[in-house]
Amino acid sequence: MATISSGIFPVICIDRNTGIPLHRQVYTGFREAILRGELGPGQKVPSSRALAAELEISRFPILDAYAQLHAEGYLESRVGAGTFVSAALTNLPTNNTAPVEESEGARRVSQGSARFPRYHAAPWRNGWGAFSVHQPAFDQFPFETWSKLVAHHSRAPRAHGMRNIDPLGLMPLRDAICSYLRTARAVHCDSSQIMVVSGSQQALDITARVLLDRKDSAWIEEPCYPLARSILLGYGCRIVPVPVDQEGLDVNAGIKRARNARAAFVTPSHHYPLGVTMSAPRRLQLLDWARKASAWIVEDDYDSEFRFESMPIPSLQGFDSAARVIYIGTFSKVLFPSLRLGYIVIPPDLVDHFTAVRYAMDIFPSYLFQEVLTDFMGAGHFARHIRRMRALYKTRRTALVESLHSEFGDLLEIHGAKAGMHLSITLPDDYRDVEIAMRAAKENLWLWPLSPCWSGIHPRQGFILGFGNIAEEKMQSAVRHLRRILAL
Ligand SMILES: Cc1ncc(COP(=O)(O)O)c(C=O)c1O
């Protein structure tokens, strides 16, 4: 078992006035920390010398307490390595998996926080490989180049980066993002409008805080990206699901349902999850509505770099002459999601409002990877990586579509295979996608159910299938596995 040697001391409280011997207090402190899961099996405990210094007592009571904990099997020693919580104590609760009953405190959280949909650790979110969604081809990432840049910037950080930086982010990175967006996405912007954020999720959050008040109506796509909906629900907005058809969001339907909505949240380049591209007439109609209703359009352009059968579609923001569009993008798909870097292109007159909200939220983005990414983009590695990944994902996409056709024939409907790192399949209505996904996860097949993407009462059943992180030669057997699970 891996040993944990964090050098962090457990919380042991010593009270010299209680009359309880010190060795007993140390013993009880450790025993309870272990039983509560605050110290886990295999975790290194501090040396008696270090703990004595920390608690400002002599070493003897600590040696006595450790001897007792050894005798009872709570601690074990490894020659030359130190003293550890016994690795055999595996059935103890861990810090965060013990079932918790709702306490009086939990019942008294704010109405605001209670409005956010509860977080469920769905097993498919942690999967690796077929058919995990939002996973790029990790093994194809140019780690050598990246790690050299990380090492360089860690060794010689620029002095200004070690202090506070701008709430909008590092200027050279904003310049690089700006020129990329102008050229590759036809976004109208200059660097003063770009804010660097920790992924599009933070971008959506800041945007909602700036634009919306409680009870405001906001259009969302039906089906939609569930975490965009969570933000709106969390802030007490009235969500208005607007159907998506073959041309994208049905603007007439939105106007019928809520003409005076404050905002529309859309994924026009590649609808999430069904993959439709919004047609030019619909884009113009949406912009026209926003202008007349003084509403905002939030364009989530999360994976537009990967189109397989045509040139990338220009952004909706690029059509906008009335500064009604907030454009959001991310490096999660093109690089990797744990980087947590994305950006917002803010209409010029709103930059101060966005900056104020960001400053109050987390002051400014973390520095190191902004420097690394600036150089990665400046030296051409970013553009090269996108080109390579576009070709790779095209091959993987084709392998998946062909395998689905050969295994299922016409039994499944495939949606949105022209772009991105995932496609969707829909199933007959009597299938239960969430239950099937639970079963599949036990066999290490990661199926993301489609029905949670619907906000209304008639969800479709099916799955979002990611193909970014599965080698072409493994596709057929993964699809066979899917067929066995579905028993089709
Ligand atoms: C449509 C859409 N929007 C936003 C996000 C959030 O991505 P991130 O916060 O990693 O940039 C995702 C994640 O995969 C997504 O699919």
Residues 458-480 have pLDDT tens digits of 899 999 999 999 999 999 999 99
259 and 406: one domain?
Answer: no
Cβ of 463 less than 6 Å from ligand 1: no
Å from CA of 163 to ligand 1 middle: 29
330 lines ligand 1 (CB under 6 A): yes
Is residue 111 included in any domain, yes or no?
no
Q: Is 107 domain-assigned? A: no
> Residues 364, 429: one domain?
no
Position in ligand 1 atom list of the atom nearest CA 225: 1
Is the pLDDT confidence value at 151 over 90? yes
Output the CA 199–ligand 1 centroid distance in Å: 7
Confidence at residue 4, expressed as pLDDT on a 0 to 100 scale: 44
Question: Looking at residue 325, which CATH number applies to its domain?
Answer: 3.40.640.10
Name the pTM for this structure.
Answer: 0.85
Last residue of a domain, one of 332, 355, 379: 379
The atom number, within ligand 1, closest to the CA of 201 reads 9
**Protein residue closest via CA to atom 14 of ligand 1:** 134
Same domain, 91 and 128: no
End residue of a domain, out of 328, 351, 379: 379
Order across the sheet with 462-466: list the strands. Answer: 413-415, 422-426, 462-466, 448-449
Kindly give the distance from the C-alpha atom of residue 451 to the centroid of ligand 1, in angstroms, as a whole number.
18
Mean pLDDT, to the nearest integer, of 179-185? 95
Q: Are 172 and 74 contained in the same domain?
A: no
Which of the listed residues 379, 412, 437 is the one where a domain comes to its end?
Answer: 379
Q: Are residues 213 and 316 in the same domain?
A: yes
Same domain, 265 and 297: yes
Q: Let me know: does 326 contact 204? Beta carbons within 8 Å.
A: no
| 430: in domain | yes
| Overall residue count recorded for the chain in this entry | 488
Find the mean pLDDT for residues 162-182.
93
Indicate if ligand 1 lies below 6 Å from the C-beta of 337.
yes
Ligand 1 centre to CA of 194 (Å) is: 18
- Asked if residue 151 belongs to a domain, the reply is no
Does residue 469 belong to any structural domain of this protein? yes
User: How does pLDDT run across 403-426, given as a tens digit for each residue?
Assistant: 999 999 988 999 999 999 999 999
Segment 279-303 shows an average pLDDT of: 97
CA-to-CA distance for 102 and 332, rounded, in angstroms? 35
- Quick check: is 142 in a domain? no
Q: How far is the CA of 302 from the centre of ligand 1 (A)?
A: 6
For residues 356 and 390, state if they share a domain: no
Question: Is 211 among the domain residues?
Answer: yes
* pLDDT-wise least confident of 119-133, 137-151, 441-455, 456-470: 119-133
**pLDDT tens by residue, 351-390:** 999 999 999 999 999 999 999 999 999 999 999 999 999 9
CA-based nearest residue to 411, from 400, 396, 425 = 425
The pLDDT of residue 269: 95
Instruction: pLDDT band for 94, please (50, 70, 90 cuts).
Output: low
SS (H, E, C) 97-126: CCCCCCCHHHHCCCHHHHHCCCCCCCHHHH
Residue 391 in this model has a pLDDT that exceeds 80: yes
The residue whose CA is least distant from atom 2 of ligand 1 is 302
**DSSP output for 236-298:** T-EEEEEEEETTEE-HHHHHHHHTT-SEEEE--SS-TTT-PPPPHHHHHHHHHHHHHHT-EEE
Q: Are residues 279 and 373 in the same domain?
A: yes
Is 50 exceeded by the pLDDT of residue 97?
no
Peptide bond into 273 cis (omega under 30): yes
For ligand 1, is residue 207 a contact (CB within 6 Å)?
Answer: no
| Any atom of ligand 1 within 6 Å of the Cβ of 272 | yes
Q: Is 265 in the pocket of ligand 1 (CB under 6 A)?
A: no
Return the CATH number at 23: 1.10.10.10
Give the domain range for residue 479: 123-134+384-486
Both tokens assigned to 265: 């949240």
Q: What CATH number is attached to the domain comprising 438?
A: 3.90.1150.10
Same domain, 272 and 185: yes
375 and 470, same domain (yes or no): no
Q: Work out the pLDDT band at 318, boundaries 50, 70, 90.
A: very high
Q: How far apart are CA 314 and CA 303, in angstroms?
A: 13
pLDDT digits (tens, 9 = 90+) for 440-449: 999 999 999 9
Return the axis-axis angle of helices 59-71 and 22-35, rounded to nearest 10°. 50
Mean model confidence pLDDT for the chain: 91
- 7-59 pLDDT, tens digit per residue, is 677 777 888 887 888 998 898 888 888 877 778 888 889 999 989 988 889 99
C-alpha 275 – ligand 1 centre gap (Å): 14
Is pLDDT of 164 > 80? no
Kindly report the protein residue whose alpha carbon is nearest to atom 15 of ligand 1. 302
Same domain, 200 and 246: yes
Per-position b or e across 355-377, b if 16+ CB within 10 A of its CB: bebbeeeeebbebebbbbbbbbb
Site to substitute for ligand 1 among 200, 298, 326, most atoms within 8 A of C-beta: 200
Residue 1 has pLDDT above 80, yes or no: no
Partners of residue 85 on adjacent β-strands: 75
pLDDT in tens, 29-41: 888 888 777 788 8
CA-proximal residue: ligand 1, atom 4 (nearest): 200
How many domains would you assign to the chain?
3
**Considering the domain boundaries, does residue 153 fall inside one?**
no
Residues 366 and 407 in one domain: no
What percent of the chain is modeled with pLDDT above 70?
Answer: 96
Q: pLDDT grade, residue 431 (50/70/90)?
A: very high
Best CA proximity match to 331, nearest among 392, 289, 395, 377: 377
